[in-house]
Structure 1
């Protein structure tokens, strides 16, 4: 049985430079569908959140269309993120090294990444994003269903709907903040976006940021022959 940090498709590819397969095509598509849904939900949700942002409904064909489309995008998000969850939950399980990583977070922010402990495929910050997204999306889908009067009006009373609206709004604000942190971190750590667009990282990137994961791949002989150049 593979270690939790090694997923199907993870492999070292010898060459100059050495590259490491990190995400398969299916995982990358799954990720970008989820990301697109989050952006659309943020825009449509903000448009419905406050009159000053109502102009955003123009992106969806007006207020009526925005109100109709928003919950359905939420349903797509839920099932898309479920795909990511079942792909990655094992690699995001907490480990003792995560506490040490968090304890040295100041070194990371100060640019002294060499002082950080070796981590597997995901560090404690990435795990926080994963489990935070998981929790918030569950809250959003449940509260969203409770306030989706077109189909579930009789499920709840008016006071319960008001609570659902409040919970939904608060969760939406938090998930937008978490998403911003996720995007900022992906831009800040050079090479991260390449992993989710092309599926691979350089050996140097893996050694610097996820050394334990790279060691596990090497120890398990997860080495793949490089593809022959096209003639």
Structure 2
């Protein structure tokens, strides 16, 4: 006996859920993905070269300190470039507006995270959850400070009121903080294969979007209406 689409039997449930599993929703355009990749590559280059300059064993292993320092300086200067190029994309500008906007459900998400509530309490979010918004905002500010202190170290007479020693101290402390935060970001990404798929291909499953980013589908449906059924 075959169950109909409205059946409450096991076969009926399977037939209702299968399209949701297979449907794909557009999450990131090609421009958005390239901005993320370019920024990530430059950030990893900055952190890797910084480790080779700061940690003695790595410095001895790699050698060529002048070359490493030059790569570090220029990767830091070029770090904002992918974001600036991404401003040409309307989709990327829309994502920046989302990241800069905190809604009531974001505050609920943060309260649930602080209280370490169960996963269902953390699900309702927009295209980006509150944790991702805080990460993006903090990292943007940290990159600006790192660029400023790096320039003060490079051009010592740029701002005479600030000593080179002070700039080095802020630069070093913030570099460690950025390294820890980026490692945490990568760890969370590796725990969510569907999120990585979205950043790699641009598409995520409709079921994943409904589970973790409910308000994105509800509020931004025109932006997410491009679906595919492989």
TM range (shorter): 0.7 to 0.9
Unaligned runs of 5+ in 2: 1-18
CA, structure 1 residues 32+212, in 2 after alignment: closer, same or farther (shift >3 Å)? same
CA, structure 1 residues 139+57, in 2 after alignment: closer, same or farther (shift >3 Å)? farther
Structure 2 distance, partners of 1:45, 1:221, is 39
Paired residue total:
206
Structure 2 distance, partners of 1:213, 1:179, is 25
Match of 2:139 among 133, 140, 157: 133
Aligned to 1:94: 102
Residues 15 and 226 in structure 1, CA contact (< 8 A), matched pair in contact too: no
CA, structure 1 residues 79+221, in 2 after alignment: closer, same or farther (shift >3 Å)? closer
Equivalent position SS for 2:163:
helix
Aligned to 1:167: 170
Please report how far the alpha carbon of residue 177 of structure 1 lies from its aligned counterpart in structure 2 after TM superposition: 1.1
Match of 1:21 among 20, 26, 35: 26
Structure 2 distance, partners of 1:143, 1:106, is 33
- Measured on the aligned residues, the alpha-carbon RMSD in Å equals 2.6
Q: Deviations over 1:71-113 (max 9, x none)?
A: 1011111222445686332111222222211111167x66x32
Structure 2 distance, partners of 1:51, 1:221, is 49
Unaligned runs of 5+ in 1: 1-13
Aligned to 1:5: none
TM-score using structure 1 length: 0.79
Following superposition of structure 1 onto structure 2, how do residues 54-93 of structure 1 map, counting pairs within 5 Å? 54-55=59-60, 57-58=62-63, 62-83=64-85, 87=93, 88-92=95-99, 93=101
Larger radius of gyration: 2
Equivalent position SS for 1:27:
helix
Q: Deviations over 1:41-77 (max 9, x none)?
A: 111111112323314645xxx1110112211011111
Structure 1 distance, partners of 2:106, 2:38, is 29
Structure 1 distance, partners of 2:190, 2:148, is 32
Match of 1:146 among 147, 152, 157: 152
Equivalent position SS for 2:102:
coil
Aligned to 1:105: 113
